[in-house]
Amino acid sequence: DTEVTQTPKHLVMGMTNKKSLKCEQHMGHRAMYWYKQKAKKPPELMFVYSYEKLSINESVPSRFSPECPNSSLLNLHLHALQPEDSALYLCASSPAPYNSYNEQFFGPGTRLTVL
């Protein structure tokens, strides 16, 4: 299995809802990432998990809460989002951030719309 999967593909939620995004990889990678991408912009890093521990949090608002239950799974819990949080949320994984290189493999993304 050489891919990163994400569910759901599309999500519409109200500002009072609680939802979760899920990401899975079975490549044995030990680093996993959440990115946010607005239209016509590059991806922006949100969180990095390295060996199931949160190693980078790029000053993301607390309404986004990441979780890494095991080395293959990464979740992003959403609560009380704002309309400006509408974006494509991309998950990625890489063998490990301290390797000689850090090629990241991206999932297909979740298109999130906050009403």
Task: By CB under 8 A, name the binding residues for other proteins.
Answer: 31, 33, 40-43, 45, 48, 50, 55-56, 90, 92, 94, 97-98, 100-109, 111
Contacts of 87 (CB under 8 A, 6+ apart): 36, 37, 38, 39, 112
Q: Minimum distance from CB of 2 to other proteins (Å)?
A: 11
Tokens of 95: 């063998």
Query: Are the beta carbons of 89 and 112 closer than 8 angstroms?
Result: yes
Please state the closest distance from residue 80 (CB atom) to other proteins, in A. 27
CB of 92 to other proteins, least distance (A): 8
- Toward other proteins, which CB reaches closer, 38 or 77? 38
What gap in Å lies between CA 33 and CA 93, rounded to an integer? 6
